[in-house]
Structure 1
Amino acid sequence: MNVIRLLFPAGWFYLLVSVINHGVNLLALLSFSAKRFKQKTALIHHGIEISYLKLYRDSLALSHVLNGHYQITKGKKVALIGRNSNEMAKSIFAVSGTGADLYLLHADAGEKQLHQYIREHAFDLVLYDSSVVNVNSGTSLELSVIEDLIVESDVNRENPHSAAGRIILLTGGTTGRPKKITHQPSIINFLPPFFTMIKRLKILNYKTAYIPTPLYHGYGFAILLLFIALGKKIVLGSRFDAQEACKLIRKYEVDFMPAVPLIIERLINEDAEALRSLCCIASGSSELKPHLAEEVLNRLGPVLYNLYGTSEAGLNLIATPDDLKYSSKTIGRAIPGTSIKVVGENQDEVLAGESGQILIKNKWSMKSADEWIKTGDIGYVDHNGYYFLYGRTDDMIVSGGINVYPQELTSMLEQHPSVLKSEVTGIADHEFGQRLAAWIILKQDAVLTDQELMEWLRKRVARYQMPKGIMIVEEFPYTPIGKVDRAALKKILS
């Protein structure tokens, strides 16, 4: 009922007016929120607070500048490169308001790769943060001058009617070639996951969100839009620093935070007391290790949620604190509107408890509503409808003719009383073609050698699962979005 009251009747009226004025784009969403929440604080970044009304007016003014001075209209391509900031948020809404296609480029991809991507796509305009990359050729606009352009623009003139352009996110970006993930804004299609997140995560109860995850990544982007729609206060973090993040959470009494597991772990280790205001920590975008789920429960109480989704399929499963009490390894149960099946190598659906590739179908994915999306994740569903991950299809190696999944060895290593966490991947081997290799981090004050751990393993895993080598390290290398950088791990071993 609360959700219905939020949008009806006044809410739907404002939304309808916004859609008529701006087309079905993100600026329409912001217009809707500005009419409802006016002078409420929308964004805080580096201590600067802006209201919903100002955020809308600035975004609308910038949209006019892009349309009038740079001829950005429907069918044009605009790249946005930057870290979380008020200016980046305004740019997202402004570009969508023009009807152009918005490309969110990976700010940590490196200047060389960013320039290469700019050349390949021949963008009509590049909006960039000079602290990330300098764009000296083609049509470009530095984010730092946006405020001056907004002041000069006539915010009261009529806005051109623009249907929604596409939003293109890039997955990965630090290793290999980035993959384009395209989404077409659709209010109707996104209502099921929108309402499910509100209900299961109890989002209407929260006042302030802190977003440390990048807005150029799907997770941070989705949370921004969700909280803007609900009129909540949003604190933006740029480059993540655990000490600074703890200060922000304490200062603004943050009660909701989306984060990758790496961020959660570093915040807990930095200052768990500073996190006492948090009522909901929504973990996503990377595997949540059982030991971290248990530590959050022990130190902060039942505040941790585990969200599972993919760039292509969006959000599909949620594990609540009660679900994580059922099993700290689960990724939860399917949300309404999502169809999930687990299939074997012959693509036939397997029985509960049997592992296979997870396939997903829903209305809010980048695919057709009738098309199954192969997630690339190996997992299984138990008899109670809880899903579990087992590894990735591209993680599987063939060792001496036998299919081997790294996750089996990872799970066993983490059962050793001295091992805090482990990472396992395949490496080339002259005799067997491929073998597993392992990297582990020991618990504090634990003493263990790689040879002792090898002897412990011999009694517990099959011969083909034994690693070619084990390296004990103090920390894993991570990508900018918080996933273990396995390419960097292999370099350590070589």
Structure 2
Amino acid sequence: MISRIFFILNLLNVFTPKGFWYLFISIYKYGFNLMTLLAYSAYRFPQKIAICFENKNFTYKEFLQNTQKIAYVLHAACYIRKKDKVGVLLHNSVEQIETIFALSYLGADIYLLNPDITAEQLQPLQEKHQLKPIICENQHLDRLSGQISKKLININQLETASPIDTIPKGFGGKIIVLTGGTTGGFKTAKHKASAKAFIYPTYALIKELQIDKYESVYIAVPIFHGYGLATLLMSVALGKSMYICKKFETKQTLESIEKYRIEVATFVPTMLRRLLLENTKALASLKCIVCGAAPLPTETAKQVIDKLGTILYNLYGSSEAGFCIIANPKDLEKNIATIGKPIEGVRVRIDSPNAEGIGELCIKSDWTINPKDWIYTGDLARLDDNGLVFLYGRKDDMIISGGENVYPIYTEEVMLKHPAVAEVVVVGVADEDFGQILKAFVVVKPNQGVTEQALKLWLADKLVKFQIPKKIEFVTQIPYTSVGKVQRKSFKN
């Protein structure tokens, strides 16, 4: 691990006289927390653009100053102290990022909440974890009423506070990411803080993505999700210019990437698929595309490689297991369907594999929520002879039709290859004869047309009979969670 630490510190220029001095001053002024990372980059790159949001630029110097002001207000006016539990209910924004760093400076435990959460979902979370305040935006004040409203602090209405010297310097609190989504209950995923939990994933990301070679990063994914948070923290540590959007919109994202000549971008597969469908040329400046948080269709991966080159990286992780598997361009060249190999420090195994070697993917590392035990991910997967991992969807999504195990993700992959199909979801519906049959919900590409019969005929020589949907329904859109995962329950119901 020592060599990995030296690699990262060397990359940050800590071993130069200026670098060592900047690090010393950062620790002396702010202690050991996220503000230390921010301060170090602010001393190194004071006039460099840190954040671009809604066409407004903020330098690293301004980023640090604004974050310090928010910390003063939260400490003096909102009485937030070390080890207080604070909910952050904010969309991607400058205020959200500054609040996260300010709370870490104060030593508070930060609970990153999905901004789409309902009052019914938020109330039990607040009671269970005793969140002292919940920092939110204007729009949440009207939507979240009742008892929970008494705990809300509107980030847009915080009064300014004079600088004070009473904020104790020390270690930052925990950052807790919630698992689950808008269709089910939320659970917290607490990870034990350790050097390994930071060093190994960071080393793997920097080594594989080579993000240190680039200057600009577009963060399209939600920062309240582990994927977005990791991108944010790595970008700040390396002093990169971050371009963020409140919510993903296809045209706005394309315009930003083209206008600012973005080099690195993080997406979920749904976003990437829509961007490619709209205007591939606008993505020409990208040197590195990182995709994660949901299964990447092989057809989407193939389009990226064919049109933009070998710049695609496919990441796998979960709130419980953390970042643990990555497919680099060489892995995808060997087999475009793979999610790659485990990073250093991660062990994987397949639990109860069937005759095809497919079973539940289990992860073990020092940075899972329970380092002593295997984490059962709920994802179906198999390992090949080269150590590459392949996903077959969620265990709960597998369909048993006429005694045959059907993996809907495989049928979806094939259907996406049809020239008229933009998006598709396959689910199992009850049937008296077969127990379950496959039903597909299809979104057709603009200015394209296809009938149910024609689509079934096209699938006839590409899938085994039991893998072909018995019913196909055409819809205008597929509902996704805020982190880009299909809301399958809405179709099953």
Q: TM-score range by the shorter chain?
A: 0.7 to 0.9
Match of 2:183 in 1: 175
Verify: 1:384 aligned to 2:390, yes or no: no
| Displacement of 1:423 | 2.2
Verify: 1:356 aligned to 2:359, yes or no: yes
Match of 1:394 in 2: 396
Aligned-partner residue type, residue 144 of structure 1: N
Name the SS for the 1:222 alignment partner: helix
Aligned-partner residue type, residue 367 of structure 1: N
| Shift in alpha-carbon separation, 1:455–1:269, aligned structure 2, 3 A | closer
Find the aligned partners of 1:371 and 1:302 in 2 and give their Cα distance.
Answer: 36
Cα deviation, 1:64-105, whole Å, max 9, x if unaligned, reads 322233222233211111111111111001111122211111
Match of 1:6 in 2: 12
Aligned-partner residue type, residue 85 of structure 1: S
Name the SS for the 1:190 alignment partner: helix
Q: How well do the aligned residues superpose, as a CA RMSD in angstroms?
A: 2.9
Given that residues 360 and 373 in structure 1 are in contact (C-alpha distance below 8 angstroms), is that contact kept between their aligned partners in structure 2? yes
Match of 1:366 in 2: 369
Where in structure 2 are there 5+ consecutive unaligned residues?
1-5
| Shift in alpha-carbon separation, 1:253–1:133, aligned structure 2, 3 A | farther
| Shift in alpha-carbon separation, 1:56–1:443, aligned structure 2, 3 A | closer
Match of 1:142 in 2: 154
Find the aligned partners of 1:458 and 1:252 in 2 and give their Cα distance.
Answer: 46
Q: Percent identity?
A: 37
| Displacement of 1:399 | 4.3
Between 102-111 and 132-141, the greater mean CA deviation after superposition: 132-141
| Displacement of 1:119 | 5.5
Aligned-partner residue type, residue 395 of structure 1: D
Find the aligned partners of 2:211 and 2:417 in 1 and give their Cα distance.
Answer: 35
Cα deviation, 1:369-428, whole Å, max 9, x if unaligned, reads x32111111111222222111121111244455544323443554566765653222223
**Please, which of 201, 209, 220 is the counterpart of residue 209 of structure 2?**
201
**Please, which of 221, 224, 229 is the counterpart of residue 216 of structure 1?**
224
Match of 1:239 in 2: 247
Find the aligned partners of 1:166 and 1:360 in 2 and give their Cα distance.
Answer: 22
Match of 2:131 in 1: 123
Verify: 1:482 aligned to 2:484, yes or no: yes
Find the aligned partners of 1:411 and 1:260 in 2 and give their Cα distance.
Answer: 16
| Displacement of 1:18 | 3.9
| Displacement of 1:143 | 1.5
| Shift in alpha-carbon separation, 1:49–1:446, aligned structure 2, 3 A | closer
| Displacement of 1:304 | 1.6
Aligned-partner residue type, residue 364 of structure 2: K
* Count of residue pairs the alignment pairs up: 481
Taking structure 1 as the reference length, the TM-score comes to: 0.88
Find the aligned partners of 1:460 and 1:42 in 2 and give their Cα distance.
Answer: 49
| Shift in alpha-carbon separation, 1:466–1:140, aligned structure 2, 3 A | closer
Find the aligned partners of 1:300 and 1:402 in 2 and give their Cα distance.
Answer: 39
Aligned-partner residue type, residue 337 of structure 1: G
Match of 2:102 in 1: 94
Verify: 1:78 aligned to 2:90, yes or no: no
**Please, which of 307, 317, 323 is the counterpart of residue 299 of structure 1?**
307
Find the aligned partners of 2:199 and 2:128 in 1 and give their Cα distance.
Answer: 35
Find the aligned partners of 1:266 and 1:322 in 2 and give their Cα distance.
Answer: 25
| Shift in alpha-carbon separation, 1:143–1:454, aligned structure 2, 3 A | same
Match of 2:412 in 1: 410
| Shift in alpha-carbon separation, 1:48–1:455, aligned structure 2, 3 A | closer
Find the aligned partners of 2:426 and 2:456 in 1 and give their Cα distance.
Answer: 14
Between 388-397 and 52-61, the greater mean CA deviation after superposition: 52-61
Residues 425-436 of structure 1 aligned to structure 2 (within 5 Å): 425-436=427-438
Find the aligned partners of 1:261 and 1:461 in 2 and give their Cα distance.
Answer: 23
Cα deviation, 1:300-351, whole Å, max 9, x if unaligned, reads 2222211111111111122122322222211112211211122216xxxx89
Aligned-partner residue type, residue 227 of structure 2: Y
| Shift in alpha-carbon separation, 1:8–1:301, aligned structure 2, 3 A | same
Find the aligned partners of 1:37 and 1:250 in 2 and give their Cα distance.
Answer: 24
Match of 2:68 in 1: 60
Find the aligned partners of 1:47 and 1:458 in 2 and give their Cα distance.
Answer: 50
Find the aligned partners of 1:365 and 1:392 in 2 and give their Cα distance.
Answer: 19
Verify: 1:472 aligned to 2:481, yes or no: no
Find the aligned partners of 1:187 and 1:68 in 2 and give their Cα distance.
Answer: 32
Given that residues 26 and 185 in structure 1 are in contact (C-alpha distance below 8 angstroms), is that contact kept between their aligned partners in structure 2? no
Given that residues 167 and 184 in structure 1 are in contact (C-alpha distance below 8 angstroms), is that contact kept between their aligned partners in structure 2? no
Cα deviation, 1:446-465, whole Å, max 9, x if unaligned, reads 65432454466677766654
Between 256-265 and 162-171, the greater mean CA deviation after superposition: 162-171
Taking structure 2 as the reference length, the TM-score comes to: 0.88
| Shift in alpha-carbon separation, 1:302–1:56, aligned structure 2, 3 A | same
Match of 1:329 in 2: 337
Find the aligned partners of 1:90 and 1:109 in 2 and give their Cα distance.
Answer: 21
Residues 257-336 of structure 1 aligned to structure 2 (within 5 Å): 257-336=265-344
Between 392-401 and 69-78, the greater mean CA deviation after superposition: 392-401
Between 169-178 and 32-41, the greater mean CA deviation after superposition: 32-41
| Displacement of 1:441 | 4.3
Aligned-partner residue type, residue 429 of structure 2: I
| Displacement of 1:280 | 0.8
Match of 2:3 in 1: none
**Please, which of 162, 178, 184 is the counterpart of residue 153 of structure 1?**
162
Aligned-partner residue type, residue 60 of structure 1: Q
Find the aligned partners of 2:389 and 2:209 in 1 and give their Cα distance.
Answer: 18
Aligned-partner residue type, residue 364 of structure 1: W
Where in structure 1 are there 5+ consecutive unaligned residues?
none
Aligned-partner residue type, residue 150 of structure 2: G
Find the aligned partners of 1:158 and 1:76 in 2 and give their Cα distance.
Answer: 17
